[in-house]
Amino acid sequence: MKYRLSSMASHEMSGGSPASSWVVITVGMSAAVTLSKSIFVTFGLSAMNSSASSWNTANWSGLDVHVSIRSEIGPSDPESVPPLVHPASIAVEAMAATAATPILLCLMIANLIGLSVAEPIRVLQPLCRVVGFGISIYLNASAPYVAQFTSVKRRGEEAARSLDTAWTRSVLSGSKSNYYERWGSMEKVLTYERGLEKFNPLARVMVYDDFDLGFNGWLDLTPNFVRDEFRQQPSTVDLGSWAPSMLSAAPMRFAASHGSMEGTYSLKLNTRAVAGPYEAQPVDGSLGVAIKRLSRASADTRFIQIEAWYAYTPQQDRVGIGEADIRAFGFFFDIQDDEHRWQPGVRYVNSVNGELTKKWQYWKVADGVTQRDWCFGLEQGWESPGIDSLWCGRRYADGSADGFQWVPGGDQALVYNESPDKLNWIYLRLLVDLHKREYVEFQSMDRVFDLRGISPTLSPPYDGITNLINPVFFVEADTDRSVNLYLDSVVYSTDA
């Protein structure tokens, strides 16, 4: 059983000291036991004290006291009281303080015409109490509000307090609410860390990774070591050659520890100091990839969204700005449902053979691409067209590729800054429709690209990974210089 006691009192004094005094007191009490086993008891007291010898409107003192005692079985918050109270059994609050107004008016009239105030007091006291009860009954029973008069002062001012809550509305309508269905269960109080203020997640936050707290399940993308002597499957790319991801304070040649956007550590994806021509297959070690292995949590989920704050820069091992040494970076989802495996994603083409390009692409295989085209001549390559576009498919000198298409209006100059040791953190967001297997929209900094109606390539499902949803970030070098992608924090959210 929980108890709540609330009280309010106001005491005003004005004028001189009265030689003698009269007191008017009205008292009311009501109680009601409802079907919810809640007991409401109200006690009201109103008193006025004035000089009997020199009665006038400027020489008196008033005292209003109202005490409300409620004993409730269950939650103390009125919002969470089960709506089982029948309208006819609403607790009538005894608002005796409302009787002060007619008493004051009657006494003023009596004084003006020279009558004694004793008789009006005796007669009007019970009348005013009835009036006070009548007002309370009307306010409680005939309107969707529970109004409570708490003070009526000498200037005729009325202070009113009204409560319009889900509980009172459900009481008067006789409806049923979720609060009763959860009666007796644990009440959830949901709070978010302040760090989420820099994101715009969907209704359900599945992952909020601040890398000041550790790796949070992100790791390097590695091949499948399932062959004899734990050798990997046949592939034209050595996936085990990529540089490892790490937690980093972003140390620089001159800036010492740069730190992250908020805190000290970010997740650093880096490459080795190698690269080939853009038109060739990526050289071993020229890519850095970080993945988090997840699965679908609800059959009702339709929309999924990734958000991140990131920065990019080359290793500060030589003079110059170094921006053109970074070929590309981006993000994709690796998804498999009951019918298809598909990889929606975005790729920023920063530089092509040393020439700055600065354009966004989305993941989708061009028409007419065969298995042999996709796997660089292998007839039995294990990657299907549309899968692993990072290292599969042909690439062309203008920055286009078999596995990527240009985002309409996707030219965008990002904030790189003027030196490799100066990081500017950049916002990225990608929203995908699982039901339609389509893109919805992509946001980079302050620009939003509408991608509705565009589908990534749908490939046949692979064994053992149904309901897979893996978020993946990547970075690629364009020259023989190690380049880095820093992730300050990542949020993965869904609509259900």
pLDDT confidence tier of residue 173, bands split at 50, 70 and 90: very low
Could you read off the pLDDT of 48-76 as tens digits, one per residue?
333 333 333 333 333 333 333 333 333 33
pLDDT of residue 214: 94
Are 346 and 362 within 8 A, CB to CB? yes
* Domain boundaries, given as residue ranges, for the chain: 2-180, 194-494
- pLDDT: which is higher, 18 or 392: 392
Question: How many CB atoms are located within 10 Å of the residue 5 CB?
Answer: 9
pLDDT confidence tier of residue 29, bands split at 50, 70 and 90: very low
- pTM equals 0.63
Could you tell me the sign of the dihedral formed by the alpha carbons of 481, 314, 355, 403, in that order? Answer: positive
Q: State the Cα–Cα distance between residues 135 and 487, nearest whole angstrom.
A: 64
pLDDT confidence tier of residue 458, bands split at 50, 70 and 90: very high
For the purposes of burial, counting CB atoms within 10 Å of the CB of 401, is it exposed (0-12), middle (13-18) or buried (19 or more)? buried
Integer CA distances (angstroms), 67 to 10, 41, 120, 270, 356, in order: 12, 10, 27, 68, 75
Q: State the Cα–Cα distance between residues 455 and 438, nearest whole angstrom.
A: 4
Could you read off the pLDDT of 186-229 as tens digits, one per residue?
666 767 788 899 999 999 999 999 999 999 999 988 777 777 87
Are 167 and 80 within 8 A, CB to CB? yes
pLDDT confidence tier of residue 121, bands split at 50, 70 and 90: low
Among candidate residues 99, 98, 117, the one with its CA nearest the CA of residue 107: 117
| 69-84 mean pLDDT | 37
The CATH architecture annotation of domain 194-494 reads Sandwich (2.60)
Tokens, residue 272: 């080795």
| 6-31 mean pLDDT | 34
Could you read off the pLDDT of 96-120 as tens digits, one per residue?
444 455 555 666 676 666 665 555 5
Among candidate residues 355, 456, 440, the one with its CA nearest the CA of residue 404: 456
Q: State the Cα–Cα distance between residues 358 and 420, nearest whole angstrom.
A: 17
